[in-house]
Amino acid sequence: MKFKLLHTDPNSKARAGIVHTAHGDIETPVFMPVGTIGSVRGVTQPDLEKDIKAQVILGNTYHLYIRPGMEVLEKAGGLHNFMNWHKPILTDSGGFQVYSLSPTRKIKENGVEFTSYLDGSKHFFTPESVLDIQLIIGSDIVMPLDECVSLPAEHSYVRKSVQLTHKWLKTAKDYHDNRPGEKKQMLFGIIQGGTYADLREESAKFVADLNMDGNAIGGLSVGEPAEEMYAMTDKVVPFLPHDKPRYLMGVGTPDNLLESVALGIDMFDCVMPTRNARNGWLFTKNGIVNVRNSKWKDDFSPLDPDGESPVDLFYSKAYLRHLHMCKELLGMMISSIHNLAFYTWLMQEARRHIIAGDFATWKTEMVKKVTTRL
């Protein structure tokens, strides 16, 4: 078993579990910092391990394929060695970036053709090739090629797209299963279907039936209202097996995470904590701080007296504000560590409350707190 379900909250669908990977265990629910191109932006690998306490990070296959490229990654012996990070890594399939970064991509029956954002060179991703690429990357959890539809989209288009994603998933699963040697990588399935409940249900059933190592929900958090995202998640989860991890891709704010944990989700990733950090936007246990606000100008109290990382007591709000006003790198560095450490804490604390049996009441209170504007 690659996933062990430990507890389910009696008053919600929230779960606590453990994912066993080739590079160690991941306690769920978990947030995965995004290390797009072999680096979680603005933080060091020792920061990730010691100050942020990240259990797993995410890499983007598309970006890594473009730079440093497969030759370098293969010679390095994979991404873990290349970046000197020896805890678990999950990689996406590259599909999402093909759609978002290469406007001229062409979707064909057997894959997707796209031009590199870097030099305009032509490339072709297939369900098989993205697994080959992720094998070289050496990630512990790999994702299959899917089509990620921009919302809103017509039902007929999404339906066709879901069918293609399913076909590619079947191809990927067969390719993965028939590869010789020990299976060190976990291959997840991705459920698509836009915001159409019937398509989401159809997709959830199809993916669940394939008995993947885990089940992901893709194509959400792409601009639709949060309520719609929760509705789709709630629609999908009942069809997913209890003994497999569930991953809601690209989500989200602290309250998005808490609400989705309550709906039965185990894993998350998002650029928000790091991207917002670089603009001086801090998530804390007591609410959101826009540190550029002039109200912090001469507030010399610690950045976050209740914070979970060393930066929180070491630097003051006024100093961090100054750094952001001057666009100093240190401001981005401090804020990134803070936000990621907060996200780690939030998921570990959720886990603690799930195990203690009082998650639902804690969650309601916490959602109020983390959405407060300080």
CB-nearer residue toward its own copies: 66 or 145? 66
Q: How far is the CB of 41 from its own copies (least distance, A)?
A: 6
**Structure tokens belonging to residue 293:** 């606000």
Instruction: List the one residue from 45, 100, 116, 293 that touches its own copies (CB under 8 A).
Output: 45
287 touches its own copies (CB under 8 A): no
**Structure tokens belonging to residue 134:** 């992720």
Which of the stretches 199-207, 237-245, 296-304, 364-372 binds its own copies when contact is defined by CB under 8 A? 296-304
Is 269 annotated in the active site? Answer: yes
291 touches its own copies (CB under 8 A): no
Is 25 annotated in the active site? Answer: no
10 touches its own copies (CB under 8 A): no
How many whole angstroms separate alpha carbon 21 and alpha carbon 215?
A: 15
What residues between 298 and 337 interact with its own copies by CB under 8 A? 298, 300, 310, 314-316, 318-319, 322-323, 325-326, 328-334
* Pairing label, strands 24-28, 30-33: unpaired
Q: How far is the CB of 309 from its own copies (least distance, A)?
A: 12
84 touches its own copies (CB under 8 A): yes
Q: How far is the CB of 66 from its own copies (least distance, A)?
A: 9
Which of the stretches 141-149, 258-266, 284-292, 297-305 binds its own copies when contact is defined by CB under 8 A? 297-305
Which of the stretches 32-40, 175-183, 209-217, 224-232 binds its own copies when contact is defined by CB under 8 A? 32-40
Within 8 A by CB and 6+ apart from 15, the residues are 5, 6, 7, 8, 9, 28, 29, 242, 264, 266, 354
CB-nearer residue toward its own copies: 188 or 296? 296
Three-state SS string over 41-108 comes to: CCCCHHHHHHHCCCCCEEECHHHHHHCCCHHHHHHHCCHHHHHCCCCCEEECCCHHHHHHHCCCCEEE
CB-nearer residue toward its own copies: 145 or 320? 320
Q: Which of 302, 189, 171, 244 minimizes the C-alpha distance to 3?
A: 244
Which of the stretches 69-77, 128-136, 159-167, 357-365 binds its own copies when contact is defined by CB under 8 A? 69-77
The active-site residue, picked from 47, 92, 213, 312, is 92
Instruction: List the one residue from 75, 106, 167, 242 that touches its own copies (CB under 8 A).
Output: 75
CB-nearer residue toward its own copies: 87 or 166? 87
Q: How far is the CB of 134 from its own copies (least distance, A)?
A: 18
**Which residue in the block uniquely carries the two structure tokens 């978990």?**
30
CB-nearer residue toward its own copies: 45 or 163? 45
Which of the stretches 63-71, 143-151, 173-181, 345-353 binds its own copies when contact is defined by CB under 8 A? 63-71
DSSP characters for 112-159?
EEEE-TTT--EEEE-HHHHHHHHHHHT-SEE------PPSS--HHHHH
Instruction: Write phi, then psi, for 32 (nearest 5 degrees).
Output: -105, 110
Instruction: List the one residue from 17, 29, 33, 42 that touches its own copies (CB under 8 A).
Output: 42
**Structure tokens belonging to residue 180:** 């010789």
Q: Which of 283, 224, 250, 229 minimizes the C-alpha distance to 96?
A: 250
Could you tell me if 83 and 68 are in contact, meaning their C-beta atoms sit under 8 angstroms apart? Answer: no
Q: Which of 53, 57, 46 minimizes the C-alpha distance to 21?
A: 57
The active-site residue, picked from 47, 146, 269, 304, is 269
How many whole angstroms separate alpha carbon 105 and alpha carbon 357?
A: 48
83 touches its own copies (CB under 8 A): yes
Output b/e per residue, 176-202; b: 16+ Cβ within 10 A. beeeeeeeebbbbbbbbbbbbeebbbb
| Residues lying near its own copies in the complex (CB under 8 A) | 37-39, 41-46, 67-68, 71-72, 75-76, 81-84, 297-298, 300, 310, 314-316, 318-319, 322-323, 325-326, 328-334
Q: Which residues are catalytic?
A: 92, 269
